[in-house]
A and B are shown apart, each in its own frame.
Chain A
Amino acid sequence: MATITDWSTTTFADLGPIYPWVGSEKVMVWVAIAAWIVWHIMQAKMENKTYDEEVKRFGDAESLKKMVKGEKNPGDP
């Protein structure tokens, strides 16, 4: 696992990468790219669902009128 196991015997001028798992960079990058795309999809679904629920809970015309007049806050019964 460890790329470096002993600093005392290392010739630094010849040394390259020192992170773990040298050689598996492409795999790590593609996994991260997949996670990034999934994040966007999940976030978009979550946001749309939130708006749908909020419109159902507070979005009737009467409530909106009261909110605009400052007579009601979102969430008030």
Chain B
Amino acid sequence: MDNELSALVVIFTEFYYWLTVVLMFLIHIGFCMYEVGVSRHKNHMHTLMKNTMLIPLVTITFFFFGWWLYWALPNGPFISDAVGNGGGIDYGMADANTPWSETMGPHMGDRITGVFWAAFLLFSWTAASIVSGSVIERIKSSGFWILAVLIGSVLWIIDASWGWHWAGWMVVKLGYHDAYASGVIHAIAGGFALGILFVLGPRIGKFAADGTPRNIYPRNPWLVAIGLFLIYTGFWGFYVACNVPMWDVQSGDGVFWSATNIYLAPTTLSAITVNFLMSLSGGLLAGYMISKGDAFWTYSSGLAGIIAASAGNDLYHPIQALVIAGLGVVFMYKLHYYVERKFKIDDAVGAVAVHGYAGFFGVVIAGFVLWGYPSSPDPTYASINPIGQFIGAIIMFGLLGFLPGWITAKILNSFGLLRIPREIEIMGLDAAASSDILAEQQIIIDAEREAIGN
């Protein structure tokens, strides 16, 4: 910070990540609107509070231990030694990111840690919020908030450390590539939600006695539409936050400044902007056709299209992004209805499909389309390949997503902390609030009658 140019680079980077955080806040607003729009009147306030309160809970726990986990675990369980320490915990980097580290507060020697922490935190909210929508109208808040902390401040952080870190063992050994988080956010959150849904069970009435699924339609389609538009908007911030804005990518002699992906490999903001729009378009076009113009699925497919192309959107040609998005949407739509019928899974907002299946598809397809590309500027790392990507997708969706979701839901269920009582589900989660409102309304009506002498 002792000359104008270096100060400009630092403060530009600080401002860059700050802006992504503000944009990504819209994702959460969108998720809240979307969930409330899908839920029935009798559950609106509970649905809103369930998603809102994950904000403070994931924030403080990400501060307590999530950020430390990201920097501590890139070596995996003694799989890699890219950051030294004999392949174990990277105490060197982790110690600088403990909750009691001086750089977590206002510090004249560090302007990046806090704002980079915040960008990661907004990803954490997204991971938890993805799960929130699928379980509405029958989960206890107490159980959900424990699950939200687990996915938002532990599980996705572990997968990010493994596969979304410049020295993560999956990048080093498998050539794992997931530039805009098809797997590290979406597949894991979708898998986690599916694991919970297996234990939680469907809402009353979702399935007929013979097992035929019934639609529980969105209560407020306008709120759903605006919510999804806001999620699209927030996704711009999400994409930009996945980049490093200025980095010298030239190895050896010379200097060449470029934006990079999270692995410090070069890309451009221009490219990802085009690919974001093309994959959104591919998703919308395919979703409209396959759902026969159903608005709910068309909007969701726009999101699923972006997610399906996200793993490789730093390198894809725009037409590749368009086609991959469309294929991903067909895959997730078909699989959603197959799983719903086969396993009687009630995913209220289609989150498992939009995030989990499309994210899984996105990671796998990137292995074929980007086969042979370097996964990192470090030439000793494995290059991108289909097997590495497939194993990566299994780790994200299954090992760190579905399995912990299922196990934790089982434990919570055994303590009576997972599902609301049947009577509450029938009368609605807002029953007490509704009764209080009705009682207060009646008091005012009585007072008005008294005022006119009746």
Residues of A within 8 A of B (CB): 12-13, 15-19, 22, 25-26, 28-29, 32-33, 36, 40, 43-44, 47-48, 50-51, 53-55, 57-59, 63-64, 67-68, 73-76
Measured in the bound complex, the distance between the Cα atoms of B163 and A33 in whole Å is 28
Residues of B within 8 A of A75 (CB): 431, 434-436, 438-439
A68 to B105, CA, bound (A): 53
Contact, CB under 8 Å: B142 / A44: yes
Given A17-B107, A18-B105, A67-B426, 11 additional A-B pairs, CB 8 A: A17-B103, A18-B107, A25-B104, A33-B64, A40-B145, A53-B432, A55-B421, A59-B421, A74-B431, A74-B434, A76-B438
- Which residue from chain B places its CB closest to the CB of A24 in the assembled complex? B100
Q: How near does chain A come to B110, taking the closest CB pair, in angstroms?
A: 9
B150 → A minimal CB distance (Å): 12
Interchain CB contact under 8 A, A18 and B434: no
Contact of B102 among A12, A13, A17 (CB under 8 A): A17
Q: Which residues of B have CB within 8 Å of A51?
A: 420-421, 424
Q: Are A32 and B421 in contact (CB under 8 A)?
A: no
Is there contact, CB below 8 Å, between A43 and B141?
yes
A16 and B108 in contact, given A43-B141, A64-B426 (Cβ under 8 angstroms): yes
Interface of A, secondary structure class, is helix
Complex contacts, B420 vs chain A, CB 8 Å: 51
Chain A: CB-nearest residue to B435: A75
Chain A residues closer than 8 Å to B101, beta-carbon distance:
25
Which of B2, B105, B426, B428 lies in contact with A17, CB distance below 8 A?
Answer: B105
Q: A13-B1, A43-B145 are in contact. Are A68 and B426 (CB under 8 A)?
A: yes
Residue of A nearest to B143 (CB): A44
Alpha-carbon distance between A19 and B426 when the two chains are bound, in angstroms = 51
Q: Measured between alpha carbons, how far is A50 from B49 in the docked complex, in Å?
A: 15
From B105, which residue of chain A is reached at the shortest CB distance? A19
The reply on B423 being an interface residue by CB < 8 A is yes
A6 to chain B, nearest CB (A): 15
- Bound together, the chains give a CA A70 to CA B436 distance in angstroms of 18
State in angstroms the CA–CA spacing of A58 and B64 once bound together. Answer: 41
- By the criterion CB–CB under 8 Å, are A59 and B100 in contact? no
Interfacial residues, chain B to chain A (CB-CB below 8 A): 1-2, 57, 60-61, 64, 99-109, 140-142, 145-146, 416-417, 420-421, 423-424, 426-428, 431-432, 434-436, 438-439
How far does the alpha carbon of A64 sit from the alpha carbon of B42 in the complex, in Å?
A: 13
B417 touches A36 (CB 8 A): no
Contact among A16, A26, A68 for B107, CB-based, below 8 A: A16
With known contacts A15-B108, A75-B439, A47–B431 Cβ distance under 8 A: no
Q: Chain A contacts of B431 at CB under 8 A?
A: 54, 58, 74-75
Say yes or no: B432 contacts A26, CB within 8 Å.
Answer: no
Q: Could you pull out 9 A-B pairs where Cβ atoms are within 8 angstroms?
A: A18-B108, A25-B100, A36-B61, A43-B141, A47-B141, A47-B142, A58-B423, A74-B438, A75-B435
**Closest CB-CB distance, B205 to chain A, in whole Å?**
10
Report yes or no: A29 in contact with B141, Cβ–Cβ below 8 A: no
- In contact, B108 and A40 (Cβ under 8 angstroms): no
Q: Which among A17, A19, A33, A67 has the greatest number of chain B C-beta atoms within 10 A?
A: A17
* B421 pairs with A64, CB closer than 8 A: no
Q: Which residue of B lies closest to A35 (CB)?
A: B60
Q: Among B57, B64, B432, which residue has its beta carbon within 8 angstroms of that of A74?
A: B432
CA distance A65 to B1 in the complex (A): 70
Which residues of chain B have C-beta atoms less than 8 A from A48's C-beta? 142, 416
Residues of the B chain whose Cβ atoms lie less than 8 Å from the Cβ of A57: 435
A18 to B61, CA, bound (A): 24
Which residues of B lie under 8 Å from residue A74 when comparing CB positions?
427-428, 431-432, 434-435, 438
Cβ–Cβ contact A29 & B427, under 8 A: no
Which of B103, B106, B423 neighbours the largest number of chain A CB atoms within 10 Å of its CB?
B423
Q: Which residues of B contact A36 (CB under 8 A)?
A: 57, 60-61, 64
Q: How far is A74 from B60 in the complex, measured between Cα atoms in Å?
A: 36
Chain B residue, CB-CB nearest to A20: B105
Taking CB atoms, residues of chain A closer than 8 Å to B57 are 36
